[in-house]
Structure 1
Amino acid sequence: MLQLKDQLHNFLRCSIGDGNTALFWYDYWTELGPLYLLFGTTGPRSLRIPLRATVSQSVSNGHWNLPPARSDFAETLQIILSTMPVPRSDNNDDVYLWRNHSGGFGPSFSSRVTWERLRVVNHVVPWHSVVWFKEEIPRCSFISWTAFLGRLPTRDRLLSWGLSVPPGCALCSSADESISHLFFICPVAVATWNCFCGRYLASRPSSLNDVVLLCQQLTGTHSARARVVLKLLNQVIIYILWRERNNRIFMGIASTQETIFRKVDRAMRDRLLSLSRPSASSHSPSLLELYLWFLSPYS
């Protein structure tokens, strides 16, 4: 908790008005920072100011009311206070100021600016646009994101944690289960992807990296919209296969290959039907029409 408070002090300052809101010991209202960090637990006794006191409680008859300095810290504080206006009851309220984009402080809070300053900035991963895009299905994009991070609890990962689980793929039992196998190499995954090989997808991807490359390589008329369909298709297939895997392990229920295809197809159609169509003047096909082209063979 103390560490969290210390982080907050890097983003929050208090401009003193009447002194009735700002806390003498805890708020960052002088250039010394929160005074409790400077004086420690003996501060309230040495300065004769209660621990929960407001800044106005350190003022008497229009002047700062502190005892004679008995330490270097107390002397420094009194010097700083001598340069500051004394809180008055007829002043405006105290104002809390937040760190802004320029590094200074202002009265408005921005969650974006605060987040950008708090977070550890890493390099942008090449697959971010394949996972996060406005047409996504949130439950599918979450599983896809976890797969790209390598965090799905597949059996190879569970074994690496020392858990006693069978290593075989729950869909085919012909190889050890991993992310690449489960979603791209397993015969069930291969058959599912092959159902969507056609005009836009000449051959199925063999890994998550292949999906990223295919999205980058889609060119020609309507390529941007076809890219949306491919990204959505990748997420839906991963999601449906992951659910099928869990159903077989935990519920003992197995779907046929035809049923798996129909689940993917239904999810794709439902999502694409919910998206707005292009304007009539653009003569562009809808995302659903592009999806149907994915299903059609080369002419």
Structure 2
Amino acid sequence: MDQVREGMSPYYKCSWVPEKCNIFVWRSRLDRIPTRQALARRNIHIVSVDCVFCGETAESVDHLFTACEKSMRAWNRFCAWANIPHILAFSFGDLVDHYKSCPGNKDYKEVIKGLIVVACWCIWKARNAKFFSSMESSWGEIFREIRTLGFFWLKNRSKHCNIEWIEWCKSPLYMF
């Protein structure tokens, strides 16, 4: 019961990402997305519960976003690009709360929070492309999608409308 209460803690959404991404992160935090493990738990017949990306262990929310090798490579590149501390997350909640440990003001943290949401969304999209269409995405492709969607959404959905693509590609937090 304590885990349920902990998972029910309010998730403060990011204002500049689409609502579907905020809802996705909220549902993921509650372990309410259709990972292979969750499908099997609901008695839905699937061939395997192993991770779509690595095939090494059961595909759970925590594994898919914090332990899978493909996700870890994307997160490592993400942290280097954003110049933020390396993400050491043991659960999905740890991952989405990582922005809290980053130095910087409220606006800086809001951008990092949003980029983490965007990254989770891109990892999930790549997982679904592989699961449903056998389309393989490299960690580099996932990272490029994070960078592209992050730029597009931040520029068009926030007060940071003057950001420049060239500078963004070097560091997304150059404006701080």
Normalised by the shorter chain, which TM-score bucket? 0.7 to 0.9
Question: What displacement does 1:287 show?
Answer: 10
Distance in 1 of aligned mates of 2:141 and 2:79: 18
Q: 2:120 aligns with which of 235, 238, 243?
A: 238
Q: Runs of 4+ in structure 1 displaced over 4 angstroms? A: 122-127, 285-292
User: If the length of structure 1 is used for normalisation, what is the TM-score?
Assistant: 0.49
1:292 Cα deviation (Å)? 5.0
Query: Partners of 2:94 and 2:7 in 1: how far apart?
Result: 18
Tell me, in whole angstroms, the C-alpha distance in 2 between the residues paired with 1:295 and 1:286.
10
Q: Residue 188 of structure 1 corresponds to which residue in structure 2? A: 70
Q: For 1:1-299, list aligned pairs within 5 A.
A: 126-129=9-12, 132-165=13-46, 166-198=48-80, 200-206=83-89, 207-220=91-104, 223-274=105-156, 275-277=158-160, 292-293=170-171
Deviations 1:65-91, CA, capped at 9 Å, x for gaps = xxxxxxxxxxxxxxxxxxxxxxxxxxx
Q: Secondary structure at the match of 2:16?
A: coil
1: CA distance, partners of 2:7 / 2:141: 37
1:291 Cα deviation after fit:
8.4
CA deviations 1:102-151 (Å, max 9, x no partner) are: xxxxxxxxxxxxxxxxxxxx99954511xx23222222112111101210
1:124–1:197 distance in 2 versus 1, CA, 3 Å: closer
* Greater per-residue strand proportion: 1
Aligned residues, how many?
165
From the superposition, tell whether residues 291 and 228 of structure 1 become closer, same or farther in structure 2 (CA, over 3 Å): farther
Secondary structure at 2:132 match in 1? helix
Q: Which amino acid aligns with 2:15?
A: K
Task: Name stretches of at least 5 consecutive residues in structure 1 with no aligned partner.
Answer: 1-121, 279-284
Aligned to 2:75, the other structure's residue is in SS state helix
Kept after mapping to 2: 8 A contact 1:195/1:295? no
2:78 partner SS = coil
Q: What stretches of structure 2 of length at least 5 have no aligned partner? A: none
* Paired residue type of 1:258: G
Q: Give the letter for the 1:276 counterpart.
A: K
Cα distance, 1:295 vs structure 2: 8.0
Whether the 8 Å contact between 2:7 and 2:29 is mirrored in structure 1 is: no
- In the alignment, residue 204 of structure 1 is paired with which amino acid? I
CA, structure 1 residues 248+228, in 2 after alignment: closer, same or farther (shift >3 Å)?
same
- Over the matched positions of the two proteins, sequence identity in percent amounts to 24
Superposed CA RMSD: 3.0
